[in-house]
Chains A and B, each alone.
Chain A
Amino acid sequence: MSLMKNLINGTNFDASKLTALQKVTLRAVVMSFLFYGLAAIEGTLMRMALINPNIPPIKGSAEHFFSIMTVHPIVGIFGSTYQLVFAAFMFLIPYLTKKPLYSVGLANFVWINITVGTALAWIAAFVWHYAPLYTLYWPLPADTEQFKTIGGIVFIIGVALIMIGTLGFIYNIYATIFAKIGVHKNKTTKELLISAFGIDGLLNLINKLRGKPPYSKEPALSLPVVAIFRGTVDTFLDALVILGAGILVLVYLIADASGASWNVHAIDALLYKNFFWWGLDLVADGLVLIYVAGSWYLLATIITGQKLFMENVARAALLLELFVSWMVWSHHLLADQGQPEMMKLISGEMVTAFELLTQGLALFITLVTLWKARPLEMTMPLKYLLGGMLGFGLAVPAAIIQADMGMNRILHNTQWIIGAHVHIALLTGLYMTLYSVVYVLWPLVTNNTKLYSMKLANAHFWLHLIGSIGMGAFMGMAGLDGMLRRHFYMNGEFKTFMILAGICAIMMVTAWILFMINIIMSVGLKGLIGIFLPAEDDTATFGIEPQPSVVASIKRG
């Protein structure tokens, strides 16, 4: 009876008491975790097919296998990660800047666009088996001999909607940060920009070395806001590049549908790869690393209640990452013999190696901030934060190892890359950091709703931690034995590693199910529906006097 009561009503969650800001945050979070589950199931299906290719639903079909492989990162990265990050930041920016969100309507537009866009991309792969993979290597996405044109058009429209939603998020964030209201009423745009780029931190360091007073004792923007701003610069550039590539593919597909046959070789495949990877790498090396560093800093200060250790260094490091993240894309092209050697050496190897420095700094600053505040209680946010740092502690050096002309020759496109580096970075590093943020924000966005079960929360933590590291490690070991990442092995090759990786994948799906049970039993089905009903309270602030969004205030006059 108690179970049923919890399932319907939750613990003490009341959706009708939520503000507009809380509701729009929770809507994106719900969609994010649903897409995460879909991505986890897709990943597990692929793992199962690599153990036994005839297992349903793939049943030895390469078309089906690669369709799943195409949408798996779209659903996982955009449908889930983007939504979760955007949700957290659309709540945190008003909270940290003590100003209202620019527009709640735009925030709703963002999650709806990303949700519909992800669904369309998924439908294109599911219905028409459109499978050029997320890399979209030219001219494969415009290859209408292998793929149906309609599938390609639907897929590209889906991706375009995701990017339009992303641009909406960026506009909302920048409009909120640079709004000259509240605490920033007397700030100039120049002052806010200097702070947003971390220049004030660098000037403070220089002045300290020269024995002068600090450039700015109280920076206009707090450090997590600076990190969010900086990461969002890369998110913006990445959205433009992916939109650009999408438009190119769409133009060719529409031309094909209208009966025209355009020469795909008019576009240079290697030049296209450079353009695409420059943009796509901003997600991995710009957006993820910077957003993550910012999240660690925020979490460390919230968990300890103390100031961040070496804050000026952290601000300056974010400025350094600005240049690093824009210049590292060639590490994806170390196996491309047409790529100039100098670009491989400078961009692919040397600048990429600086990520060891920027991420190592973020790790150091966060660990020392925590250490100085000990003894600390091992809460869920702290547990996940440590898990997240461990994830990047494993995945970043793995990346530096493979971003080397000698190692890349035998590691490129193997399971090492996608396992030991990508999946450990995303599932252990990024997701555990995001779960930490979720647990920190949970009482704020749900008005102190009691979590249904700490046992379930702990089971989720351990299953996810061991499952994600284990899966990445076994995939990596298979990669060292020569297993490729974009190949459907049909003859039981690398079976032992695949069975072990499959067990770990099942652990992660189980972890997700336990997490969802815990959340649903806490908010209840009624509460879950209530999140999607219109908010009665139009407050778009948190922690200060309630105010509606900037747009709502303007409309009211």
Chain B
Amino acid sequence: MTFKTSVELLAFHNVAYTIYAMLIISVIAWFAYNLTRKEKAKSIVRIPFYGYIAFLVAGGVGHHIFTYNTIPWVSEDIMRHNIKPDKVFEIEIANHKFNLPGKMEIKKGQKVLFDAKSKDLVYGFGLFRQDGSMVSQMQVNPGSRNDLLWTFNECGEFDIRSTEYSGPEGNKMFVKKAVVVTGCNKGGKS
């Protein structure tokens, strides 16, 4: 099981968390109802204390193990200093404006390094699809390294928006269709 894009991951996350939310609401509702009843409630499931603790530990740690093994950008991000990118785009941000190296054209499957530098404030660098959903992002701090290595597993045109607040002026930091990814089957996105 591997999530190729954030769309797939977020769809899975949406379903999984909704199921969890319904479950915990039901558990508390069932608990509240039976708390007031005189008759002894029948336990649906009996969980021993240490089993519950083990479940919490396994849930907390297992979640990270799961994402490491199913989300491709996790290991890529950790190991990015040892990976040679196919393309590097230098981006400069100052006075609430992106200074981009023209239209960024990428082939599907290429590893691209977005190397952003801020001359003044803390900004964000976010890639968005035409429907507004997020592809990826990073913070851009002045005076430190801001490098995002990304493999595009989808085709299309992507907008850039600052994902961090930098004052009211920053609200206009938006570049339409700044990134183009090609190389998919004709008419397809993947």
Chain A residues close to B by CB (< 8 Å): 62-63, 65-66, 129, 131-133, 135, 137-140, 143, 146-147, 265, 268-270, 273, 310, 333, 335-338, 341, 345, 349-350, 353-354, 356-357, 360-361, 364, 367, 370-371, 374-378, 382-383, 386, 389-390, 393-394, 397-398, 400-401, 404-407, 409-410, 412-414, 420, 473, 477, 480-484, 486-488, 493-494
Contact = CB atoms under 8 A, between A and B. Distances in A.
Nearest to B71: A406
A371 B74 CA distance: 42
27 contacts: A63-B168, A65-B168, A129-B168, A132-B167, A139-B120, A140-B121, A140-B165, A146-B168, A147-B167, A268-B144, A335-B124, A350-B64, A357-B53, A357-B60, A376-B35, A386-B28, A393-B24, A401-B17, A406-B74, A409-B73, A412-B137, A412-B139, A412-B163, A413-B164, A480-B10, A482-B128, A482-B133
Given A350-B61, A353-B63, A353-B64, A410 B134 contact: yes
Given A357-B56, A378-B32, A406 B68 contact: yes
**Among all A-B residue pairs, the 10 with the closest Cβ atoms:** A353-B60, A338-B144, A406-B71, A406-B67, A486-B165, A62-B168, A482-B133, A146-B167, A482-B134, A356-B60
Nearest to A137: B122
B146 interface: yes
A404 B63 contact: yes
Contacts of B9: 406-407, 410
B183 interface: no
A386 B32 contact: yes
B143 A265 contact: yes
B66 to A, nearest CB: 9
Contacts of B6: 409-410
A143 B96 CA distance: 13
A477 B36 CA distance: 34
Contact of A409 (B60, B136, B141): B136
Contacts of B73: 406, 409
A87 B164 CA distance: 36
A431 to B, nearest CB: 16
B20 A407 contact: no
A393 B71 CA distance: 26
A137 B121 CA distance: 8
Given A270-B143, A337-B139, A378-B32, 16 more contacts: A66-B167, A139-B121, A146-B169, A269-B122, A356-B59, A360-B56, A370-B31, A393-B24, A401-B63, A409-B137, A413-B163, A420-B17, A481-B133, A482-B129, A482-B134, A488-B171
A361 B144 CA distance: 39
B57 interface: yes
A494 B132 contact: yes
A374 to B, nearest CB: 5
A213 B135 CA distance: 59
A433 B131 CA distance: 39
Contacts of A63: 168
Given A349-B64, A350-B61, A341 B36 contact: no
A325 B164 CA distance: 25
B24 A409 contact: no
Contacts of A147: 167
B182 interface: no
A336 B138 contact: yes
Contact of A357 (B31, B41, B57, B148): B57
A340 to B, nearest CB: 11
Contacts of B137: 335, 409-410, 412-413
A350 to B, nearest CB: 7
A140 B122 contact: yes
A420 B37 CA distance: 32
Nearest to A487: B171
Interface of B: 6, 9-10, 13-14, 17, 20-21, 24-25, 27-28, 31-32, 34-38, 41, 49, 52-53, 56-57, 59-61, 63-64, 67-68, 70-71, 73-74, 77-78, 120-122, 124, 126, 128-129, 131-139, 141-148, 161, 163-169, 171
A527 B121 CA distance: 51
A493 B67 CA distance: 30
Contacts of A65: 168
- Give the one of B38, B49, B164 with max A CB within 10 A: B164
A344 B18 CA distance: 27
Contacts of A356: 56, 59-60
Contacts of B131: 481-482
Contact of A337 (B143, B147, B166): B147
A138 B122 CA distance: 7
A143 B167 contact: yes
Nearest to B64: A349
A268 B122 CA distance: 11
Contacts of A394: 21, 24-25
Contacts of B41: 374
A143 B169 CA distance: 12
Contact of A273 (B49, B70, B141, B148): B141
Contacts of B146: 337-338
Contacts of A146: 167-169
B35 A480 contact: no
Nearest to A414: B134
B139 A336 contact: yes
Contact of B13 (A268, A357, A407, A486): A407
A327 to B, nearest CB: 14
Contacts of B52: 360, 364
A140 B166 contact: yes
A143 B121 contact: yes
Contacts of B144: 268-270, 336-338
A375 B35 contact: yes
A407 B63 CA distance: 10
A480 B14 contact: yes
Contacts of A338: 141, 144-146
B81 to A, nearest CB: 9
A512 to B, nearest CB: 23
Given A406-B71, A480-B10, A374 B37 contact: yes
Contacts of B122: 137-138, 140, 269, 273
A375 B144 CA distance: 59
A484 B36 CA distance: 43
A390 B132 contact: no
Given A350-B64, A405-B67, A336 B141 contact: yes
Contacts of A335: 124, 137-139, 163
Contact of A131 (B25, B78, B167): B167
Contacts of A405: 64, 67-68, 74, 77-78
Contacts of B124: 335, 413
Contacts of B74: 405-406
